[in-house]
Structure formats: structure tokens, C-alpha cells
Amino acid sequence: MERYVHDTHTHNLVSPSEIVSILGRSLSPKSVVDVGCGTGTFLHEFKKQGVRKVLGIDGPWANKELLAANLEQHEFQEKNLEEPIRMEERFDLAVCVEVAEHLDEKYSNNLVQSLVGLSDVILFSAAIPYQEGQNHVNEQWMNYWVKKFEIAGYESRDLLRPLLWNNEKVQWWYRQNIFVVYNKNSPLAPDLFSGYQPTGINNYVHPDLYLKKSKKLEDILTGRQSFLFYTKLLVKKMIRLIKK
């Protein structure tokens, strides 16, 4: 998989702070692992909430300098996310947000097995089709992931989107894609999710993504894109015609 480049503009503490404050009150985890932790922003916020044991996992592309601002050296492990992650210990909560779309689809089952092997409760989000982004190679509707977790014996709940949908402090991709997954056979499940009736995870497109795509299309149709953009578009079209 290609290197993912992290930056402080996109990977800041604002969205994690809002999400963790809600999730921390609901679940009160004592240990959290983040698969595809990026710069460790979510774990930084969990530590602020009093979580003493955290572990970030990501590939060699992780920016160690940015990581150091949020995690201690012993709180990070470098692993190949395409391969199953096996650890003896389990955590109260596993986090995997906006990561799955960066892994080829043939590794999607490995990712799910890694997550269910790490915790009975998972905070998950992944890019939907045509969301686009840096090295997005496997964009799927949410039900694609829901079914994979179901096969592993885990149920999904749309607990956070209603609380985050209109929160402009949270980046739109989290507001659009985030949900909670849990092991329905775990003794913790009745306490954690009592009062929540089983529901499907509906596929929504957030208005911010809709506006972004509409603006891009308008710029293309009105000629406001760069000459290089239209040149690339023409080349792609010619390649498709040649392949036919």
C-alpha cells in the first residue's frame, strides 16, 4: 500500500475531542486500541478523558514527529494493516476510523478479523463510494462493512451520527460514516446497549459532501478548472477508448 501523508490541518484534535467526549461518557473504556491511528489524535483525547492504557497501530508511513505530540513511544506499534493483527490482550474499545478505504478490498476481511480480535466494542467508519480522498482504493457503502461484522458475530448500531450530524466542529466524513459495532455474545453487550433497539445502518450522504461534489462539477462544466485538469481528463478518456 502506498504511503499515507498526514498533516496537522486534517489530522487535528477538534473532531476527536467532540467524538471522544460523547463515546467516553457512554462506554467509559479503561483501555483503547486505534488501528490506523494516524497521528494518534483520538488516543490523545481518550487519555485526556482518563484512559490509562492506549495503543496506536499503523504502518511505516505514520509520521513519527506528529505522533510524538500525542503518544508516548511505547504507546505505538508499527504493523502491516493488510495482515491480520494478533495480540494476546484485548481492549475495552477498538477504534478504526477512515482507514478501511486505504486497504485493497482483498484485505477487508483481514481488517475485520483484526478488529474483532482486539475488542468486543469497535468504533468504525470508512469512506463511501465516490467520497474520494488520498489513496482511496476500497470505498464501500456502510452495509458492506455491517455484513462483514455480522459474519463475525458483531452487531452494528447507528448511535453517534444523530448526535454528530449537525456538529460543524466535526469533519463531515466522520459525521457521515461513523457507527459502533459490538460483540452480541459479550457479557458487556446488554449493559452497554440496553435501550437501543436493533436497527439497520442507513447509507447517507452528508450535505457537505454533496456541496463539495456539486461545486467540483460546476467548476468542470463552466471551465474554471485548470488546463492541466482538462488535459488529464482528455488523456483518461482516450485511454478508455483505446482499451475498448
The arithmetic mean of pLDDT across residues 218-244, rounded, is 75
pLDDT given at position 224: 78
| Contact yes or no for 237/180 (Cβ under 8 A) | no
Give the distance, in angstroms, between the CA of residue 67 and the centroid of all CA atoms in the same chain.
17
Positive/negative CA dihedral, 159, 28, 149, 194: negative
The C-alpha cell at 135 is 489513496
The average confidence (pLDDT) of the chain is 86
Q: What is the CATH number of domain 14-205?
A: 3.40.50.150
119 or 159: which carries more pLDDT confidence? 119
pLDDT given at position 198: 53
> Radius of gyration (Cα) for the chain, nearest Å?
19
CA-nearest of 177, 68, 34, 180 to 120 is 180
The predicted-structure confidence for 182-225, as pLDDT tens digits, reads as follows: 998 777 655 555 555 555 677 877 677 667 766 676 666 777 77
pLDDT given at position 14: 94
The arithmetic mean of pLDDT across residues 46-67, rounded, is 93
pLDDT given at position 4: 66
Residue 140 scores a pLDDT above 80:
yes
Element (H or E) spanning 154, and its range?
strand 154-157
171 or 25: which carries more pLDDT confidence? 171
| Contact yes or no for 35/95 (Cβ under 8 A) | yes
Confidence of residue 138 (pLDDT cuts 50, 70, 90): very high
pLDDT given at position 233: 72
Looking at the chain, the whole-number percentage of residues with pLDDT higher than 90 is: 57
Query: Would you kindly state where each structural domain of the chain is located, as residue ranges?
Result: 14-205, 208-243
Confidence of residue 3 (pLDDT cuts 50, 70, 90): low
What residue has cell string 476500497? 138
Confidence of residue 227 (pLDDT cuts 50, 70, 90): confident
Contacts of 92 (CB under 8 A, 6+ apart): 27, 29, 30, 31, 32, 119, 121
Confidence of residue 1 (pLDDT cuts 50, 70, 90): very low
What residue has cell string 450522504? 205
* pTM listed for this prediction: 0.82
